[in-house]
Copies of this chain bind each other. A is one copy, B any other.
């Protein structure tokens, strides 16, 4: 069986990568496997272990870091968040498509560990749109908003490190583009040649 495809959907805060990723997964249905993150923060009301997150202790998380068991991880305001490597590997070995929606820094860590993954950068349609989206999150302090803005500005300059750039002008359009990218990637000769040679009885 062919190894599955790892799709990394990433981009700056405010580009709408979460919405685009959800729209993409909705279009694909059961065909894609959604990676569940591991975290050291406490579960919130209604969150289910193994579905929303894997909730573990700080000690366990740090042990897993030492054992190289994360595809990527980061610390945000005192809590660890990471993508367990074994679960992703398992799904890829089954031939399933795995979608990771992660921050830019995390994506660059994945690039180092799994260079054969496909890296899609979700870009906002303009700087104005990005500002608007970041500023409209009304519940946050001005300080936090400014911090996010600075982070987004840094992240925007890293698009060149990705395989594809998808501008999120409209969510369904961006999701369609990702579908086209995945379809094209499956047709790439390096992936399609084995099945083709078998089909055509080429030695």
Measured CB to CB, the residues of A under 8 A from B are: 121, 123-127, 156-157, 159-160, 162-167, 177, 179-181, 183-185, 187-189, 192-193, 196, 199-202
Given A167-B199, A181-B184, A184-B180, A189 and B123 contact (CB-CB distance below 8 Å): no
Q: Judge whether B164 and A200 touch: CB under 8 Å.
A: no
Max chain B C-beta neighbours (<10 A), residue from A121, A124, A183, A184:
A184
A179-B180, A180-B179, A180-B180 known; A156-B202 Cβ under 8 A: yes
Contact B183 A177 (CB under 8 A): yes
The number of times this chain is found in the oligomer is 2
Least CB distance from A165 to B in Å reads 4
Q: Name 26 interchain pairs, CB-CB below 8 A, sorted by A.
A: A123-B196, A123-B199, A123-B200, A124-B200, A125-B199, A126-B199, A127-B201, A156-B202, A159-B196, A159-B200, A162-B189, A163-B188, A163-B189, A164-B184, A164-B187, A164-B189, A165-B189, A177-B183, A177-B184, A179-B180, A180-B180, A180-B183, A180-B187, A181-B183, A181-B184, A183-B184
Chain B residue numbers with a CB within 8 Å of A160 are 189, 193
Distance A125 CA – B196 CA, assembled complex (angstroms): 9
Chain B contacts of A179 at CB under 8 A?
Answer: 180
Q: Are A181 and B187 in contact, with the CB atoms below 8 A? A: yes
CB distance B189 to A157 under 8 Å? no
Say how far A196's CB is from chain B's closest CB, in angstroms: 5
Contact between chains at B166 and A200 (CB < 8 Å): no
| Contact status of A193 and B180, CB under 8 A, knowing A127-B201, A199-B123, A200-B123 | no
